[in-house]
Amino acid sequence: MKIIVGLGNPGPKYAGNRHNIGFMAVDALHRRHAFGPWTRKFKAEISEGELAGEKVLLLKPQTFMNLSGEAVGEAVRFYKLAPGDIIAIYDELDLAPGRARLKTGGGHGGHNGIKSLDAHCGKDYRRLRLGIGHPGAKELVNNHVLGDFAKADAVWLEPLLDALADNAEMLVRAEDSQLLNKLALATGAPAEPDAPARPKPPAPPSAPKPAGKSHIRQARPDVPKMLPTTGPMADMLKRMFAKKDGD
């Protein structure tokens, strides 16, 4: 059995919030597949069904985001499941809108819902993070996550949720790379992180050119100028300078 939990805040006030994309994803799965009606149990709304030949419990905690782990923990203990049987779907500030990442374990990244799941269920559960983008400044984060999606976001949000619902069996079978490719194709977002550009190694410094010399002089080493002290040439030079001194 698998538990697919979408994280969000209960009530109509929060229904369209970016922070509630986990609820929206689970609702999309519920609409697309043969799940039973929503009922209340484990401090959550739950619905039972089957995907990829396996029993699946859809779960939306009704405890508010910061206490999401209480609901999931109760369900895990009731069904005697392990952390690896949990799939959590939630919003991710550090991913661009429309991008998705899927992994097992990891840190909470400051997400209060994930902090609560870690505390009640351990960390070794699967995490499907759906990007909502970052507003650009820390002081804007709260209003961003608790603000509603804009109408323009429908361009990527609806295809993302539809693709996730269409390929939900891949999620249950842990066909992670295939699922991420499907989501990327639906939204036009890259399936994998962009490879960072490798900086080019700096060019070696060129040797400075000697100032005030032609290219001919540069190609020819300077030779110390030596005057002969013996021989015919020396005698001639002595006579020349002696004559000049006597003028």
Tokens read off for 207 = 């040797």
| Non-local CB neighbours of 161 within 8 Å, separated by 6+ positions | 24, 25, 28
CA angle 70/57/40 to nearest 5° reads 60
The yes-or-no answer on residue 30 being catalytic is no
Of 106, 99, 78, nearest in space to 183 by CA: 99
What's the CA gap between 102 and 124, in Å, rounded?
13
- Cα distances from 113 to residues 51, 65, 110, in angstroms, run 25, 5, 9
Amino acid code (one letter) for 202? P
What's the CA gap between 124 and 225, in Å, rounded?
83
Supply the DSSP symbol for 98. Answer: T
The catalytically annotated residue of 19, 108, 134, 144 is 19
The catalytic residues are 19
